[in-house]
Amino acid sequence: MTSASPTPCDELLCLLAEVLGTEPIANRTLSPFALFCHWLRRSRKMIREGKWCEGQALVFCGPVDSFKSFLQGAIITPSLGQEAFPTQFLKGGTGFNADIVGAEHLRIDDAAPPVEARDRSEWANVMKQLVMERHRRLHGKG
């Protein structure tokens, strides 16, 4: 009996499991790998069905070269659709938000949150609005 050679999908799943981890952390019942797979499946389902799903935020934290940017660029954006970079908007550097309102994936790479308490509070409030509020004010350029 011969075994089938691994498909690219099998290899990708093995890489994801290795990078994210297959053991539950702390008092969780699911591993980071399982949580990621559930999150991605739910997100794709909501987009495909045209439904709003509040609270769909996924945060990757880790050392340099731990595949955080790879996961976003090679897996999340192609799986979900358009990406936008909301850092300037979150930090109050611009009021224009048309690109982030229409994007399925808001990507924040290596953006340090503000240091001052008041600025951190504003950052958190804007982030909460992006994740939790279905209707957003649209302010495009021009």
Q: What's the pLDDT at 59?
A: 81
pLDDT at 43: 87
Strands 105-106 and 83-84: parallel
Select the more confidently predicted residue: 37 or 123: 37
| pLDDT at 142 (0 to 100) | 62
Predicted confidence at residue 34, as pLDDT, reads: 92
pLDDT of residue 3: 61
Instruction: For residue range 90-139, list pLDDT tens digits in order.
Output: 777 777 777 777 788 888 877 666 778 887 788 788 778 777 776 666 66
**Residue type at 21 in one-letter notation:** G
Integer Cα distance of 120 and 10 in angstroms: 41
pLDDT score for 23:
92
pLDDT digits (tens, 9 = 90+) for 43-84: 889 888 988 777 677 888 888 888 888 888 888 889 888 888
pLDDT category of residue 37 using cuts at 50, 70 and 90: very high
